[in-house]
Amino acid sequence: MKRACAYVTLFLSALAGIPPAHAVTLTLQIRDTRGAAVEDAVVYLMSNQSHRMPVKNTTLRIDQVDKTFVPLVSVAQTGTRVSFPNKDNIRHHVYSFSSAKKFEIKLYADTPSQPVLFDKPGVVVMGCNIHDNMVAHLLLVDTPFFAQSDRQGNARIDGLPPGDYSLIAWYYMRPDKDAGEIPLSLKTDTTRTLTITTRNLE
Partner 1 sequence: MKFLPFKTLQGRIFGFFFGLLLITQLGSILITSTIGYSIMGRMLGDELRSGKQVFMRLFEQNTAFLGQGARILAADYGFREAVGSNDADTIVSALDNHSARIKADLMLFIGRDGEVYQSAVKSRKNIDISGLRWLDPTQPPRDALALIERIDGQLYQLIAVPVTAPLPIGIVVAGFRIDATTAKDIGNITHTEVSFISHGNRSDWQINASTLPAPLAATLGQALNTNQIGEKTIDELQTQQGRYLGLRASLPSPDGQAAGVVLQKSLDRSLEPFYDLRNKLLILGAIGLILSALSSLAIARGISRPIKALAGFATKIAQGDYGEKPLIASTTEIAELSDAFDYMSREIASRETHILQLAYSDTLTGLPNRAMFHDRLQQAIIMTGRVGKPLTVMLMDLDHFKYVNDSLGHHIGDLLLKEVASRLKHTLQRESDTVARLGGDEFAILLPTADIPNARKVARALLSALEAPMTLDGQIIDVRGSIGMASSPQHGSDITALLRCADVAMYQAKRNSSGFAEYDTHYDHNTLERLSLMSELREAVEHNHLVLYYQPKVDLKTSLTYSVEALVRWVHPQRGLVPPDSFIPFAEQTGYIKAITNWVLNEGVKQCAAWKRDGIDVNISINISARDLMNADLPVYFAALLQEYGCPPERICLEITESAILDDPAHAMENLRRLEDIGCKLSIDDYGTGYSSLAYLKRLPVGELKIDRSFVMNMMNDPNDVIIVRSTIDLAHNLGLRVVAEGVENEAILNQLCKLGCDQAQGFLFSKAVSADDFTAWISTQLWRDQVKVACRI
Nearest by Cα to 135 from 59, 62, 39? 62
Closest CB to partner 1 among 129 and 193?
129
Considering beta carbons, is residue 110 or 202 the nearer one to partner 1? Answer: 202
Nearer to partner 1 (CB atom), residue 7 or residue 97: 97
Kindly state whether residue 107 participates in binding partner 1, applying the rule CB under 8 A: no
How many Å apart are CA 151 and CA 156, to the nearest integer?
13
Q: How many residues bind partner 1 (CB under 8 A)?
A: 15
The pattern of x and - marking residues 86 through 105 that bind partner 1 according to CB under 8 A reads ---------x-xx---x---
Bond preceding residue 85 cis, omega within 30 of 0: no
DSSP 172: T
**Nearest distance, CB of residue 127 and partner 1, angstroms:** 3
> b/e per residue, 93-123, with b = 16+ CB within 10 A?
ebbbebebbebebeebeeebeebbebeebbb
CA distance 41 to 123: 13
Return the number of the residue (117 or 135) whose C-beta is nearest partner 1: 135
CB of 64 to partner 1, least distance (A): 13
Backbone angles phi, psi at 180, to 5 degrees: -70, 145
Residues between 121 and 180 that touch partner 1 (CB under 8 A): 125-129, 132-135, 175
Among residues 71, 56, 80, the alpha carbon closest in space to that of 149 is found at: 71
- For partner 1, the closer of residues 127 and 153 by Cβ is 127
Residues forming contacts to partner 1 in the complex (CB under 8 A) are 1, 95, 97-98, 102, 125-129, 132-135, 175
